[in-house]
Amino acid sequence: MKLVAFGDIHMATWQLHRIAQELRTADLVVLSGDLTNFGGRRAARSVVEAVRQYCPTVLALPGNLDRPEVIDYLQSERISLHGENHRIGDLDLFGCGGSNPTPFHTPLEYQEEELHAILARAYAQTTAAPVQIMVCHTPPYATRVDRLIDGRPVGSPTVRQFISEYQPHLCITGHIHESAGTDRLGRTVILNAGAFAAGGYIVARSEAGTVHAALRFVA
Kindly indicate the confidence band of residue 219, based on its pLDDT and cuts at 50, 70 and 90: confident
pLDDT digits over 61-96, tens only?
Answer: 999 999 999 999 999 999 999 999 999 999 999 999
Supply the pTM of this predicted model.
0.98
pLDDT level of residue 162 (50, 70, 90 thresholds)? very high
pLDDT tens digits, 14-47: 999 999 999 999 999 999 999 999 999 999 999 9
Containing structural domain, residue 173: 2-217
Strands 188-192 vs 210-217: parallel, antiparallel or unpaired: unpaired
What pLDDT does residue 158 have? Answer: 98
Read off the CATH number of the domain in which 192 is found: 3.60.21.10
Structurally, how many domains does the chain consist of?
Answer: 1
Q: Which residue from 9, 62, 72, 71 is spatially nearest to 33, judged by alpha carbons?
A: 62
Exposure b/e, 134-152, CB count within 10 A at least 16 = b: bbbbbbbbebbbbbeeeee
Provide the pLDDT confidence category of residue 12 given band limits of 50, 70 and 90. very high
Dihedral sign of CA atoms 68, 73, 76, 82 in order: negative
**Span 127-137, average pLDDT:** 97
Kindly report, residue by residue over 44-60, the tens digit of the pLDDT.
999 999 999 999 999 99
Q: Among 177, 176, 64, 41, which residue's Cα sits nearest to residue 111? A: 64
The pLDDT confidence band at residue 208, using thresholds 50, 70 and 90, is: confident
**Is residue 215 exposed (0-12), middle (13-18) or buried (19+ Cβ within 10 Å)?**
middle
